[in-house]
């Protein structure tokens, strides 16, 4: 499965960047979300995956009795997911405002700040 | 000695706060400072003449080996006296010249700053602190040259001067550090003993080149000379001070200071002779084509500096002697001529020599000063100029190679300089007084006094050379590493070739003066050749450099976000694939990977289908819905691989994101497809390469052995020590609780940001505040 | 209580941020809390610095979980210095903000976010955990997103879209790098990683991971060719915001680069070469960019990029002298860049413009202010003995020692262009005759605002100018500090011991 | 007051079911938690009425299951055979139930039964618009609903 | 949305979802769940209510601006981490636990208060964002 | 024994899910697709979860399974109603074989107030011919 | 054949096949409502898959995720409907 997950991650990275490279504001956000998912899955995969063994200590035991998945990457991803959520919400609103104020859908037309002034 | 240097700085700072006080009649009082300093340095003459060297060292930044160590030997004494002596006269002169000027206090501030920096420069025995003062002279001269800063030309020449001398400054720093690197010390007097080591070092040429660039830029040597005529935009006291005795001589000082360390090498000598030679001839010729008095003086100054460089390059005892004398000669007559020019300009309002004449009738004392200075400049006996010229010819005639060319060059230069001296010192005073100048008033004593003093000194030292011989000249030669104790300065050395050359020079020079009058026609004629001058080449260069800068900047900072992203991703792809494919080689160890199962495959397929649909659909809403499909697939992946917490969070957050999208979606732009086909292909290739690289990288990493030390610790202690069984949650709230605390702060900030973005509407008056 | 001392700057900032949120609409109270809090923060940071200086590197294991299992906070001399600089710049900008940021912005959380930003910076300097560093980076970028958009003007929003996207990209690359690092070593503690990364057999993967870190931090620190977000956005927000951005934001990227490349990825020739090449191009591009700008804030923006090159060139040469130079430059640059952006704000307040073409006559009209502004401007140029000069001694010396002549050329080139740019700026803004800038009705010109506000705007500039004068004239102290930091960085064993062996000795 | 107490009790049962811990402390804790929640949301549902007649509910449940199963088979047949035999359409069903809860309950039951879908309730709460796949006889269809689900719901909610 | 069905359903779903969210919050230390997910579910409950009943009704229900939960939650989380520093001179965020486990909840310690802080912040943040957007959409 | 019960429950559930999936493909218009799916999938999942409850045979799992079933059965019809109604006024047409449309002309344009009788203001009402979909 | 094998080799592929059909409908549309309903069914099916999966692995923990799915999948449908209503009203 690792190989499939690796391909999925590759697809998410590729799609994320591809969408960011479009000129449309909405596509930019979607690209950001896809890229974020890709990065999270990468942590997940590289922290090594285990099937059917959540890192939860059984009810009547103080330690794990059998194999368990590495909990640390999961905690990291949780943190990353929540942070990405904050960033994405902000991005969505930023784009909405930018669209309203700058009055363009086209990122290519948002280059006034790079021009000499 | 530190106090002596700091005095100028302190005075400058004082002026910031007490400026009003010195703006009025009391301005002349500020001359007390250079005057006192002159007296202070003059008191060292006997000691220095007897061969002593006075040193003082103050700790500053020992961590860098940078001290404020000062050394007063013959060379620095001569310069100190010129700096303070001429400084004294210029300070006094200014009080009258800029009388009532709104910013007189500032002017004195810059002058004092400059004087102090100059003193520090010539007294420093630490090459880094020398550099510090060197830069301070550049920056204070920037302010002096740009004093009339409302005039664009003035600003431009200040910028040019700072640009050129600043440019040279960096080379001085590089040279200093290189020398420090070779010798292990920044103290100049310690370097003296390491002459051989330096010359033998593989970095010798480089070090010398660095020092040369510094000296040549500061002392206006070809092809860096053109900032100097431009600097004539400054008020005349500035020109007097900077260009006769001080700033432009800093480069000369530097070369002299390093002669005993770097000199006596073929590269050193030949380069100096060539550069000095070209400079003196080139600019002496140029002087011929000027009508502005200050222009004439500027070019003759450059030429004189060329002579000095040339003499240092000759490197013989005689040459050093000639250089030492010529420094004094030049300081005296050039300062006089500048002062005189300043008076003329101040009284008549013009410096155009073609429109000047007969002024002796109005300002006799000035005329006397001018004529005496011209005589000295022409090297006519009994002026000290004659002495200087004789010594120069003597040294040239003893040059080891290309003697004839050298002699012709120096004689030609001297002839032209005679012309220049006469034009500046005599021409305005003789002949008929133009109608326009009938009502010109005579200048006050504060103006002509300093000129007369300097002019008279020029004659006095010529008649009584003993006055300066052992006091000033010989200690300089000693400081340059030669012993001239057996030599005696005198006007008369009997009939010889040198005297013959002198005669020819004076005769031809005077003839030239009578036959070639300065004229606009001449000036325009040379103007046509301006396009090949270093100045215009540099200006063109600067222009194209600006064009290039704009081009380079706009290539990268082109305003298109997608290009920025492309560059970054391309950079990543290229670097990573270089290592991945170039040095490592990709191998995938399938044995370490687990089996692919059917339902996993299906999850993968729906995820990829969702992604592709998101990317290629033309509807925003469908794209958002497809993101939901992707989110569900990821959630299922988390479930399949034992991460229920993640699955829950991922799904909740996905749903919230969908809600967010939906709430703003109809305010968002349409899901446009703006890129053309070619761009899509290009971006597609780039994105796919990134995806492929990440995929391969992941597989490579998976083939590496794992280390579960940390997760084992968590598993072991989650319940026993942290009282929890959901290890993920225990990590989040306990083992790595700090992460979580920050993370919720991130959320709170995002919420505040959203709130502000949507609710804050600035009134139009508050825009951009 | 001294055991926890190094956490106090962090805890204080977090406390301030939360406290300020409780005072949401009471902006006068916010101003006072922010200024007093920043003052206390400075005092605490000085305390921390003094303690580290006297007692050496200190660590705190958050949650009392021994390293490498919990999150380690560690203050070596480098970190303590950065925290101190943050508090100095923070205090200055806090006062400056009180005077210059309009109340509408303050009503929407300016001060809480500002202190969250300082919190993030402090945390990034103090953490000894790579993922924790990521989280601090996120708090920094989200705060900066909010600060850069607060007010939501057109230019701000345009700049912010780029700023956001590229910084988000950096975060993702950072995350990717952490994923690879964790996959290779199973650890996140930086001291622990130092040993574990060295033990990884597949060096190519380590190299690739280092490249990923380089790009992630390179974007943050505005290295060539990753700097685009900076010139696109730094001139758009209120100048108080630009000030803290210009002074500290890129520097935290530099800090991370230095940290990671002296502790975890050490001794890789290829990486050092890449760093050098990037640094040289950074110096070059930044300088050229600065040369062609007209808006003074844009000039400073490009100069930020340019001067990042000095620090990275020091890291790339990787000798003790070179890194000491980089550190010295870092210290100098934080103070001066913060000051310069505040200065641009002052100029804007006075004239209503930041365009060099439009401005003029400053020297004639505000001589004392001009002399004040001379200090940061020419400190930046490195006119000796002002602060920017000294680090060049180390850098050029290092260039000779490592025979890196391209570096030498780049250093001289960049210094020269900086000189040209700043003197041109001086001539235009200060010397040129005053131009008629159309008066803006209702604009809160400097002469129209209350006295206390004027003081709040000028005092921080004076304060930072004095500090940079101290750096210049007291270069001895700074150089000793830089050299000590450099030697600590080059000999990372003591850092590792402080983290991993502290429990064993207790 | 009474209804709030009842809902509090009901929610306590939900809580206990969720946690799967039937110990007494859990009841107490669940009660406290739910009391707090009701305190927070109290304004929204003053007109709340809860089902109290458990047997009727159970009977209804089995009736519903039967309807569900029956209709599912019909749909299964439809889906798995090649030709369409449907006569779909939207039918207006007049409502006898008055309360919001009743209407919602009815509409949902109709939706849950295969082949029919409650599209919307008119704003005056008089009619329910139902989409059905088999409208052979319009009146028969309406009667089926009125005598089936609606009747039972009216009984329960009485 | 003017739909009676949704309105009625959401009024019944709201308390259920809130109960559920607290349930998820409290069991997080033992089973999947915790402050994040709990907070998200609580927020989603209110959002659902807002969709069905209109924003003003939901806001009326809450009685205070949801943004207020952010400093409260942050303060709680911060304070639970600070307690060991202030009172026990232990490092920041050191876990403090009551010696005996409580019924239902299990062991009670600073981590629980921390998680409650997280819960409040997540509710505050999510609702602030969504309410703000709804208001200005 | 319990395995067989579980097997039957899960198999039935899965078949219902499959049925709804096929229905989703086969049904000719959106309303019928909604109609088919809301139930088949719901019933299917319900059966699978009953199977799960039987399998684990403990209180906590059973109660969780029941809660899921409850949630699914509570929300599915509401979803169906929402999406069905939205389909109607966004202009999704009934299958050509439909025999009756009592809803026609009863949604007021813009406000989507739904009337129980057709009144005399037809110009206010939703007009299917002029609405388009996001897809187009 | 054990129960686990049966679930793994018969039931899961069947559910997977259902998922593919649903995704097909999602992509095909044609109306946005079809996509939304497909997404809804997909999530419901996901709940079923999780149920089966938890039997296979004997870990009831996964049901918690199913619980979340059941609860909040609803909300995205609500949101989409809300959008459709708002969007059309705006026209
Ligand atoms: Na190291
Ligand atoms: Na959790």
F14 and F65 part of one domain:
yes
pLDDT in the model for residue B4:
85
Counting DSSP H helices and E strands in chain E, the numbers are: 5, 0
Distance CA F81, CA F100 (A): 19
Q: Is A36 on the interface with C (CB under 8 A)?
A: yes
Measured between CA atoms, how close is E97 to chain B, in angstroms?
8
When scoring D70, D91, D120, D145 by the number of chain F Cβ atoms within 10 A, the one with the most, hence best to mutate, is D120
- Answer whether F19 sits within 8 Å of D80, measured CB to CB: yes
Q: Is C7 on the interface with E (CB under 8 A)?
A: yes
> Does position C225 have pLDDT exceeding 80, yes or no?
yes
Q: What is the pLDDT of residues B700-709, one digit of tens each?
A: 999 888 888 8
Calculate mean pLDDT across residues D67-83. Answer: 80
> Does position F46 have pLDDT exceeding 70, yes or no?
yes
| Domains identified in chain C, total number | 1
* Average of per-residue pLDDT values in chain B: 86
Q: What is the pLDDT of residues F63-122, one digit of tens each?
A: 888 888 988 888 889 999 999 988 888 888 888 877 777 777 777 766 677 777 765 555
Banded pLDDT at B384 (limits 50, 70, 90)? confident
Distance CA B548, CA C210 (A): 33
Crossing angle of helices E35-53 and E110-136, in 10° steps, is 30
* Environment class of A115 (CB within 10 Å of its CB; exposed 0-12, middle 13-18, buried 19+): exposed
* Average of per-residue pLDDT values in chain F: 80
Calculate mean pLDDT across residues B44-64. Answer: 88
Distance CA C306, CA C287 (A): 5
Lowest mean pLDDT among B322-336, B665-679, C55-69, E26-40: B665-679
F114 and F77 part of one domain:
no
Ligand lying nearest the CA atom of residue C496: 1
Distance B632 CA to ligand 2 centre (A): 19
Banded pLDDT at F129 (limits 50, 70, 90)? very low
F71 and F108 part of one domain:
no
Banded pLDDT at C345 (limits 50, 70, 90)? very high
| Domains identified in chain A, total number | 1
Cis peptide before B382 (omega within 30 of 0): yes
pLDDT in the model for residue C448:
84
pLDDT in the model for residue C2:
66
Q: What is the pLDDT of residues B633-643, one digit of tens each?
A: 999 999 999 99
Distance CA E40, CA E50 (A): 15
| Domains identified in chain F, total number | 2
F119 and F69 part of one domain:
no
Residue identified by tokens 């129209």 is C448
F79 and F41 part of one domain:
yes
Residue boundaries of the structural domains of chain B: 270-518, 707-769
> Does position B421 have pLDDT exceeding 70, yes or no?
yes
Which residue is closest to A100 within chain E, CA to CA?
Answer: E137
F67 and F105 part of one domain:
no
> Does position B604 have pLDDT exceeding 70, yes or no?
yes
The three-state secondary structure class of D90 is: strand
pLDDT in the model for residue D99:
86
Q: CA torsion sign, B655 to B660 to B663 to B669? A: negative
Identify the CA nearest to B315 among candidates B264, B351, B350, B270: B264
Ligand lying nearest the CA atom of residue C198: 1
Residue identified by tokens 């000290």 is B384
> Does position B166 have pLDDT exceeding 70, yes or no?
yes
Counting DSSP H helices and E strands in chain B, the numbers are: 33, 2
Is residue E120 within 8 Å of E69, Cβ to Cβ?
yes
Residue boundaries of the structural domains of chain G: 3-90
- pTM of the predicted protein model: 0.93
Neighbours of chain B (3+ CB pairs under 8 A): A, C, E, F, G
Identify the CA nearest to E69 among candidates B512, B748, D141: B748
Distance CA C292, CA C282 (A): 16
Identify the CA nearest to F16 among candidates D66, D68, D87, D88: D68
Is residue B575 within 8 Å of C274, Cβ to Cβ?
yes
Looking at per-residue pLDDT, the higher value among B14 and D17 belongs to B14
Q: What is the pLDDT of residues C470-494, one digit of tens each?
A: 999 999 999 999 999 999 999 999 9
Lowest mean pLDDT among B367-376, E91-100, F34-43: E91-100
Is residue B750 within 8 Å of E129, Cβ to Cβ?
yes
Measured between CA atoms, how close is F1 to chain E, in angstroms?
30
Helix (H) or strand (E) holding D155: helix D151-157
Banded pLDDT at B173 (limits 50, 70, 90)? very high
Q: Is E108 on the interface with C (CB under 8 A)?
A: no
Distance A30 CA to ligand 2 centre (A): 27
Cis peptide before C68 (omega within 30 of 0): yes
User: Percent of chain B scored above 70 by pLDDT?
Assistant: 97
When scoring A9, A19, A25, A27 by the number of chain B Cβ atoms within 10 A, the one with the most, hence best to mutate, is A27
F72 and F14 part of one domain:
yes
The three-state secondary structure class of B726 is: strand
pLDDT in the model for residue D61:
81
F84 and F115 part of one domain:
no
Question: Residue C267 belongs to what domain range?
Answer: 2-435+444-505
When scoring F81, F83, F106, F110 by the number of chain E Cβ atoms within 10 A, the one with the most, hence best to mutate, is F81
Q: What is the pLDDT of residues B112-164, one digit of tens each?
A: 999 999 999 999 999 999 999 999 999 998 998 888 888 888 898 899 889 98
Q: Which tokens sit at B217? A: 């830029």
Banded pLDDT at C277 (limits 50, 70, 90)? very high
Which of F7, F25, F112 lies nearest to residue G21, judging by beta carbons? F25
Chain centroid to Cα B520, Å, comes to 35
Q: Which tokens sit at B106? A: 């500032």
Q: Which residues of E touch A86 (CB under 8 A)?
A: 125
Identify the CA nearest to B187 among candidates B257, B113, B243, B134: B257
Which of E41, E77, E112 lies nearest to residue B652, judging by beta carbons? E41
Looking at per-residue pLDDT, the higher value among B172 and A66 belongs to B172
Calculate mean pLDDT across residues C311-324. Answer: 94
> Does position E118 have pLDDT exceeding 70, yes or no?
yes
> Does position B529 have pLDDT exceeding 70, yes or no?
yes
Calculate mean pLDDT across residues B460-481. Answer: 83
The residues on F that touch B, with CB distances below 8 Å, are 134-135
pLDDT in the model for residue D49:
44
Banded pLDDT at E103 (limits 50, 70, 90)? low
Looking up residue A77, the CATH number of its domain turns out to be: 1.10.287
> Does position D18 have pLDDT exceeding 80, yes or no?
no
* Average of per-residue pLDDT values in chain E: 87
* Environment class of B128 (CB within 10 Å of its CB; exposed 0-12, middle 13-18, buried 19+): buried
> Does position D122 have pLDDT exceeding 50, yes or no?
yes
Question: Residue F118 belongs to what domain range?
Answer: 98-126
Neighbours of chain A (3+ CB pairs under 8 A): B, C, E, G
Q: Is F119 on the interface with D (CB under 8 A)?
A: no
Q: What is the pLDDT of residues C433-449, one digit of tens each?
A: 876 777 877 788 888 88
pLDDT in the model for residue B459:
84
Q: Is F1 on the interface with D (CB under 8 A)?
A: no
Calculate mean pLDDT across residues B671-684. Answer: 83
pLDDT in the model for residue B488:
75
Q: Is A60 on the interface with B (CB under 8 A)?
A: no
pLDDT in the model for residue D22:
62
Neighbours of chain C (3+ CB pairs under 8 A): A, B, E
Kindly report the number of other CB atoms within 10 A of residue C318's CB atom: 23
> Does position B212 have pLDDT exceeding 90, yes or no?
yes
Which of B612, B661, B710 lies nearest to residue A92, judging by beta carbons? B661
Q: Is the ipTM of this complex over 0.95?
A: no
The residues on B that touch F, with CB distances below 8 Å, are 618-622
- Answer whether A44 sits within 8 Å of B638, measured CB to CB: yes
Q: Which of B274-283, C122-131, C400-409, E93-102 has the highest mean pLDDT?
A: C122-131
pLDDT in the model for residue C54:
94
Distance CA B458, CA B336 (A): 10
pLDDT in the model for residue B636:
93
Distance CA E118, CA A79 (A): 12
Q: What is the pLDDT of residues A73-114, one digit of tens each?
A: 999 999 999 999 999 999 999 988 888 888 777 777 777 777
Task: Write the DSSP string, C284-347.
Answer: HHHHHHHHT--BHHHHHHHHHHHHHHHHHHHHHHTSHHHHHHHHHHHHHHHHHHHHHHHHHHHH
Which of residues 10 through 69 in chain G touch F, CB cutoff 8 A? 10-11, 14-15, 17-19, 21-22, 24-25, 29-34, 36-38, 40-41, 44-45, 47-48, 51-52, 54-55, 60, 63-64, 66-67
> Does position D1 have pLDDT exceeding 60, yes or no?
no
Q: Which residues of G touch F135 (CB under 8 A)?
A: 29-32
> Does position E24 have pLDDT exceeding 60, yes or no?
yes
pLDDT in the model for residue E132:
92
Banded pLDDT at B222 (limits 50, 70, 90)? confident
Banded pLDDT at F12 (limits 50, 70, 90)? very high
Q: What is the pLDDT of residues C239-264, one digit of tens each?
A: 999 999 999 999 999 999 999 999 99
Ligand lying nearest the CA atom of residue E33: 2
Is residue B179 within 8 Å of B203, Cβ to Cβ?
no
pLDDT in the model for residue F134:
40
* Average of per-residue pLDDT values in chain C: 91
- Answer whether E92 sits within 8 Å of C3, measured CB to CB: no
Banded pLDDT at B592 (limits 50, 70, 90)? low
For residues B465-486, one letter each, b for 16 or more C-beta atoms within 10 angstroms of the residue's C-beta and e for the rest, the string is beebbbbbbbbbbbbbbbebee
Calculate mean pLDDT across residues B16-44. Answer: 82
Banded pLDDT at C184 (limits 50, 70, 90)? very high
Measured between CA atoms, how close is E38 to chain B, in angstroms?
9
């Amino acid at each position: 499965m690792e190989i499939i997950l690796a391909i999925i991650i590759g697809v998410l990275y590729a799609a994320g960047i591809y969408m960011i490279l479009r000129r449309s504001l909405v596509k930019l956000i979607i690209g950001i979300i896809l890229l974020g998912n890709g990065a999270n899955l990468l942590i997940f995969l590289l922290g090594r995956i285990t099937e059917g063994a959540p890192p939860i200590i059984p009810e009547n035991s103080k330690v794990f009795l059998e194999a368990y998945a590495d909990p640390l990457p999961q905690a990291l991803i949780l943190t990353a997911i929540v942070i990405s959520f904050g960033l994405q919400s902000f991005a969505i609103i930023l784009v909405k405002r930018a669209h309203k104020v700058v009055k363009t859908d086209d990122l290519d037309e948002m280059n006034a700040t790079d021009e000499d002034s | 000695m530190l106090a002596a240097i700091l005095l100028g700085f302190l005075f400058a700072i004082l002026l910031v706060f007490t400026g009003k006080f010195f703006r009025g009649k009391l301005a002349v009082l500020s001359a007390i400072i250079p005057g006192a300093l002159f007296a202070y340095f003059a008191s060292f003459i006997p000691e220095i003449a007897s061969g002593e060297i006075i040193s003082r060292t103050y700790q500053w930044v020992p961590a860098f080996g940078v001290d404020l160590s000062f050394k007063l030997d013959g060379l620095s004494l001569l310069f100190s006296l010129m700096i303070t002596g001429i400084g004294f006269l210029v300070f006094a002169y200014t009080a009258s010249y800029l009388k009532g000027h709104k910013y007189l206090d500032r002017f004195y501030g810059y002058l004092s700053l400059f004087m102090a920096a100059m003193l520090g420069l010539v007294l420093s025995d630490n090459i880094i602190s020398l550099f510090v003062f060197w830069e301070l002279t550049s920056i204070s001269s920037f302010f002096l040259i740009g004093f009339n800063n409302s005039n664009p030309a003035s600003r431009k020449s200040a910028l040019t001067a700072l640009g050129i001398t600043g440019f040279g400054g960096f080379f001085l720093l590089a040279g200093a550090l290189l020398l420090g690197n070779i010798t292990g010390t920044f103290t100049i007097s310690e370097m003296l003993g390491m002459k051989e080591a330096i010359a033998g070092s593989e970095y010798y040429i480089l070090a010398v080149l660095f020092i040369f660039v510094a000296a040549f830029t500061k002392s206006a040597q070809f092809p860096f000379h053109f900032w100097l005529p431009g600097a004539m935009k400054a008020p005349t006291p500035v020109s007097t001070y900077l260009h006769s005795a001080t700033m432009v001589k800093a480069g000369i000082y530097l070369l002299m200071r390093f002669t005993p360390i770097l000199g006596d090498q073929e590269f050193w000598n030949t380069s100096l002779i060539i550069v000095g030679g070209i400079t003196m001839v080139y600019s002496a010729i140029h002087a011929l084509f000027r009508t502005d008095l200050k222009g004439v003086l500027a070019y003759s100054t450059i030429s004189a500096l060329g002579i000095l460089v040339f003499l240092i390059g000759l490197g013989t005892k005689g040459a050093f002697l000639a250089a030492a004398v010529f420094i004094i000669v030049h300081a005296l007559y050039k300062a006089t001529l500048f002062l005189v020019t300043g008076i003329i300009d101040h009284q008549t309002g013009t410096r155009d020599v073609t429109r000047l004449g007969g002024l002796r009738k109005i300002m006799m004392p000035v005329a006397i000063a001018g004529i005496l200075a011209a005589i000295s400049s022409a090297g006519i006996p009994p002026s000290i100029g004659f002495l200087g010229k004789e010594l120069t010819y003597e040294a040239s005639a003893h040059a080891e190679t290309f003697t004839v060319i050298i002699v012709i060059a120096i004689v030609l230069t001297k002839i032209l300089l005679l012309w220049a001296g006469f034009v500046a010192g005599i021409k305005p005073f003789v002949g008929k007084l133009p109608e326009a100048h009938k009502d010109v008033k005579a200048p006050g004593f504060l103006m002509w006094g300093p000129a007369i003093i300097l002019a008279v000194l020029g004659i006095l030292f010529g008649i009584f050379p003993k006055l300066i011989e052992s006091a000033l000249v010989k200690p300089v030669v000693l400081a340059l590493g030669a012993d001239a104790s057996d030599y005696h300065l005198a006007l008369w050395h009997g009939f010889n070739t040198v005297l013959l050359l002198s005669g020819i020079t004076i005769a031809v020079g005077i003839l030239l003066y009578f036959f070639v009058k300065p004229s606009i026609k001449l000036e325009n004629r040379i103007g046509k050749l301006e396009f090949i001058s270093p100045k215009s080449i540099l200006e063109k260069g600067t222009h194209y450099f600006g064009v290039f800068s704009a081009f380079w900047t706009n290539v990268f900072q082109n305003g298109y976000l997608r290009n920025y992203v492309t560059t970054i991703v391309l950079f990543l792809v290229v670097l990573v694939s270089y290592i991945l494919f170039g040095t490592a080689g990709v191998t995938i160890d399938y044995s370490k990977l687990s089996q692919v199962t059917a339902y996993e495959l299906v999850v993968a397929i729906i995820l990829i289908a969702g992604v592709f649909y998101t990317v290629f659909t033309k509807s925003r809403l469908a794209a958002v819905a497809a993101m939901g499909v992707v989110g569900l697939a990821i959630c299922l992946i988390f479930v399949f691989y034992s991460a229920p917490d993640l699955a829950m969070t991922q799904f909740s957050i996905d749903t919230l994101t969908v809600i967010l999208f939906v709430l703003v979606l109809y305010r968002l732009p349409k899901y446009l497809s703006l890129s053309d086909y070619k761009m899509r292909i290009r971006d597609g290739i780039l994105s796919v390469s990134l995806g492929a690289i990440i995929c391969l990288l992941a597989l490579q990493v998976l083939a590496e052995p794992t280390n579960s030390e940390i997760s084992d610790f968590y598993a072991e202690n989650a319940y026993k020590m942290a009282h929890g069984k959901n290890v993920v949650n225990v990590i989040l709230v306990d083992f790595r609780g700090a992460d979580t605390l920050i993370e919720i702060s991130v959320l709170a900030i995002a919420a505040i940001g959203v709130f502000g973005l949507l609710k804050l509407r600035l009134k139009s008056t508050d825009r951009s505040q | 209580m001294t055991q926890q001392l190094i956490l106090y700057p962090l805890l204080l900032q977090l406390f301030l941020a939360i406290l300020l949120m409780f005072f949401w609409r009471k902006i006068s109270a916010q101003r006072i809390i922010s200024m007093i809090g920043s003052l206390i923060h400075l005092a605490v940071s000085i305390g921390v610095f003094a303690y580290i200086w006297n007692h050496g590197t200190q660590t705190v294991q958050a949650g009392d979980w021994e390293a490498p299992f919990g999150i380690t906070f560690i203050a070596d001399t480098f970190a303590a210095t950065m925290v101190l600089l943050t508090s100095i710049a923070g205090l200055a900008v806090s006062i400056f903000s009180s005077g210059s940021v309009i109340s509408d912005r303050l009503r929407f959380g300016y001060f809480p976010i500002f202190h969250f930003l300082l919190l993030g910076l402090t945390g990034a300097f103090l953490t000894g955990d790579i993922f924790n560093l990521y989280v601090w980076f996120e708090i920094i970028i989200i705060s900066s997103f909010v600060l850069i958009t607060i007010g939501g003007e057109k230019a701000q929003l345009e700049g912010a879209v780029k700023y956001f996207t590229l910084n988000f990209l950096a975060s993702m690359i950072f995350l990717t790098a952490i994923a690879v690092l964790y996959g290779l070593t199973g650890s996140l503690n930086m001291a622990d990683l130092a040993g574990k990364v060295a033990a990884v057999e597949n060096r190519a993967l380590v190299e690739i991971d280092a490249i990923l870190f380089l790009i992630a931090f390179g974007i943050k620190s505005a290295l060539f060719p990753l700097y685009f977000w900076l010139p696109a956005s730094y001139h758009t927000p209120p100048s108080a915001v630009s000030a803290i951005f210009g002074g500290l934001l890129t520097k935290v990227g530099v800090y991370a680069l230095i940290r990671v490349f002296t502790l975890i990825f050490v001794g890789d020739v290829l990486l050092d070469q890449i760093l050098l090449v990037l640094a040289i191009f950074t110096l070059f591009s930044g300088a050229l960019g600065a040369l062609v700008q007209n808006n003074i804030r844009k000039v400073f923006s490009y100069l930020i990029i340019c001067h990042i090159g000095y620090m990275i060139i020091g890291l790339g040469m990787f000798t003790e002298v070179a890194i000491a130079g980089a550190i010295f430059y870092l210290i100098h640059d934080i103070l001066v860049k913060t000051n310069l952006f505040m200065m641009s704000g002052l100029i804007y307040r006075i004239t209503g413009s930041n365009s060099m073409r439009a401005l003029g006559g400053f020297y004639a009209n505000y001589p004392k202010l001009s002399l004040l502004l001379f200090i940061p401007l020419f400190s930046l140029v490195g006119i000796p003995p002002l602060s920017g000069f000294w680090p060049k001694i180390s850098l050029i010396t290092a260039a000779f020692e490592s025979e890196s002549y391209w570096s030498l050329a780049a250093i001289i080139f960049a210094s020269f262009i900086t000189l040209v740019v700043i003197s041109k700026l001086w001539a235009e803004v200060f010397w040129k005759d005053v131009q008629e800038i159309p008066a803006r009705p209702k604009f809160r010109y400097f002469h129209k605002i209350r006295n206390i506000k004027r003081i709040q705007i000028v005092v921080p500039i004076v304060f930072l100018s004095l500090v940079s004068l101290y750096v210049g004239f007291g270069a001895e102290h700074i150089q000793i500090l830089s050299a000590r930091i450099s030697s600590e960085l080059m000999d990372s064993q003591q850092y590792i011991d402080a983290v991993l062996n502290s429990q064993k000795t207790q | 007051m009474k209804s709030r107490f009842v809902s509090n009790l009901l929610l306590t049962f939900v809580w206990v079911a969720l946690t799967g811990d039937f110990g007494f402390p859990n009841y107490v804790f669940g009660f406290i938690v739910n009391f707090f929640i009701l305190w927070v949301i109290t304004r929204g549902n003053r007109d709340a009425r809860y089902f109290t007649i458990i047997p009727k509910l159970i009977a209804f449940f089995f009736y519903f299951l039967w309807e569900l199963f029956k209709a599912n088979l019909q749909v299964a047949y439809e889906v798995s055979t090649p030709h369409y035999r449907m006569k779909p359409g939207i039918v207006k069903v007049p409502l006898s139930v008055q309360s919001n809860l009743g209407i919602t309950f009815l509409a949902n039951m109709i939706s849950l039964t295969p082949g029919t879908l409650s599209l919307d309730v008119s704003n005056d709460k008089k009619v329910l618009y139902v989409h059905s796949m088999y409208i052979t006889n319009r009146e028969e269809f309406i009667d089926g609903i009125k005598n089936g689900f609606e009747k039972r719901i009216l009984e329960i909610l009485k | 949305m003017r739909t009676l069905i949704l309105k009625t359903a959401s009024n019944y779903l709201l308390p259920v979802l809130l109960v559920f969210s607290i349930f998820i919050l409290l069991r997080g230390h033992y089973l999947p769940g915790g402050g994040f997910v709990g907070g998200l579910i609580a927020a989603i409950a209110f959002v659902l209510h807002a969709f069905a009943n209109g924003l003003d009704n939901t806001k009326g229900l809450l009685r205070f601006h949801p943004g207020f939960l952010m400093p409260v939650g942050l303060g709680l989380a911060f304070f639970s981490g600070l307690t060991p520093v202030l009172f026990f001179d232990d490092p920041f965020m050191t876990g403090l636990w009551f010696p005996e486990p409580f019924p239902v909840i299990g062991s009670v310690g600073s981590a629980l208060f921390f998680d409650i802080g997280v819960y409040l912040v997540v509710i505050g943040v999510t609702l602030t964002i969504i309410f703000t957007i709804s208001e200005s959409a | 024994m319990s395995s067989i019960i579980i097997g039957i429950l899960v198999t039935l559930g899965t078949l219902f899910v499959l049925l709804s999936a096929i229905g989703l493909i086969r049904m000719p218009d959106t309303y019928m697709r909604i109609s088919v799916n809301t139930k088949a999938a719901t019933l299917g999942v319900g059966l699978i979860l009953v199977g799960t409850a039987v399998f684990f045979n403990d209180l906590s799992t059973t109660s969780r399974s029941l809660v899921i079933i409850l949630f699914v059965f509570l929300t599915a019809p509401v979803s169906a109603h929402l999406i069905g109604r939205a389909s109607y006024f966004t202009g999704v047409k009934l299958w050509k074989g439909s025999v009756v449309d009592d809803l026609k002309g009863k949604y007021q344009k813009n406000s989507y107030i739904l009337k129980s009788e057709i009144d005399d203001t037809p110009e206010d009402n939703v007009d299917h011919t002029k609405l388009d979909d996001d897809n187009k | 054949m054990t129960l686990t094998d049966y679930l793994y080799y018969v039931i899961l592929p069947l559910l997977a096949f259902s998922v593919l059909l649903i995704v097909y409908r999602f992509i095909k549309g044609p109306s946005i409502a079809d996509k939304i309903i497909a997404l809804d069914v997909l999530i419901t099916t996901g709940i079923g898959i999780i149920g089966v999966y938890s039997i296979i692995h004997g870990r009831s923990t996964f049901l918690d995720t199913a619980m979340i799915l059941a609860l909040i999948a609803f909300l995205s449908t609500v949101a989409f409907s809300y959008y459709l209503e708002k969007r059309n009203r705006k026209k």
